[in-house]
Each structure stands twice: as C-alpha cells, then as structure tokens.
Amino acid sequence: MRTRTLLARSAVTMLFASAAIIGMTSPASAATCSGSSCDGKDPGAYCQSDARTVQSLKLGQALLELRYSSSCRAAWARISNASFDTRSQFTPYATVHRNSDGRQYSCSVSATGSSCYTLMVNDANVTSYARGMWDSGANIYEGRTGSY
C-alpha cells in the first residue's frame, strides 16, 4: 500500500512539474485573459486587480459605472446602490455595449441585492459604454455613460 501511495504522489509531482515546464498554470494560479480572450468572462475572476471606473452616471440614487482593466484591455458595466421593491418597482440592470460590433452583456440586480456587474467585452482598440436603469418607485431613471 505504501508503494502505491508513493507512486501516486510521484505521478502528481511529475504532472505539476510537466505543466510548469510547458507553461500551464497550476490550479492555484490566477486566471488571466487579454483583449478578445476576455469576451464573456467574469471580471471578478480575471481582471479586478487593476480595474478602475472610467465613466460614471447617477441614475437617481443608483450609480452606473463603466469599468476598465488596462492589463486585460476589457470593459464591463456595474450598477450599485440600486436596491428595489419587487412588488412595485422594475428590476434595475446594467449593460456594457461595444461600439464596433454591438456585442453586449447585461446583469440584473437580485431581489435581495443592490448591485450587479456584467461580463466583460474586449475593449482593445475599440470603445464601449455602459447603460442602465433604476426605478425609484416614483421615477424611472435610465441613461448611458460616455464611451471609453
């Protein structure tokens, strides 16, 4: 039994060593993407470390933001402070829209939440904008940021 355990451990060690030699990442490594390989990916998993807000807009009490990561060359939209009453208000949302081809991703705020963010669009050598909506119960606020 001990020989099998040692052989299994040796095989796992060799597998990770081989992966490192050929440039694969281990399960503990941070995921990366850049440009077109970021399309449709979660910014929280890939590009959050250097993210910044490049455009923003108030929608009543809610804040709509166009977020951008220079290392990933990707953009996404986020809406925050957008709580709502499911019985009397429309569900707040945010959308990121790439100008060059119209690719877009949207998110909706959950009934128990107050924010959401979209998946990413490639923003390398193109521009994108965010649009969104928040319903205060008395007014519906809709708008879009400038392009970046």
Give the tens place of pLDDT for each residue, 54-108: 999 999 999 999 999 999 999 999 999 999 999 999 999 999 999 999 999 999 9
CA distance 148 to 145: 9
**For position 146, what pLDDT does the model report?**
97
Residue whose pair of structure tokens reads 């690719």 in the numeric block? 103
What integer best gives the mean pLDDT of the chain?
84
**85: DSSP letter:** -
CA angle 78, 137, 108 (to 5 degrees): 30
Strands (E), 5-147: 51-59, 62-69, 74-80, 93-98, 104-108, 116-117, 121-122, 128-135, 140-144
- Write out the two tokens for 41: 């990916």
Instruction: Flag whether pLDDT at 5 surpasses 70.
Output: no
Helices (H), 22-145: 43-46
Q: Which of 79, 131, 82, 137 is nearest to 111 (CA)?
A: 82
Residue listed under structure tokens 């095989």? 11
pLDDT of residue 31: 62
Pull the structure tokens for residue 115. Answer: 């924010």
Give DSSP secondary structure letters for 48-65: GGGEEEEEEEEETTEEEE
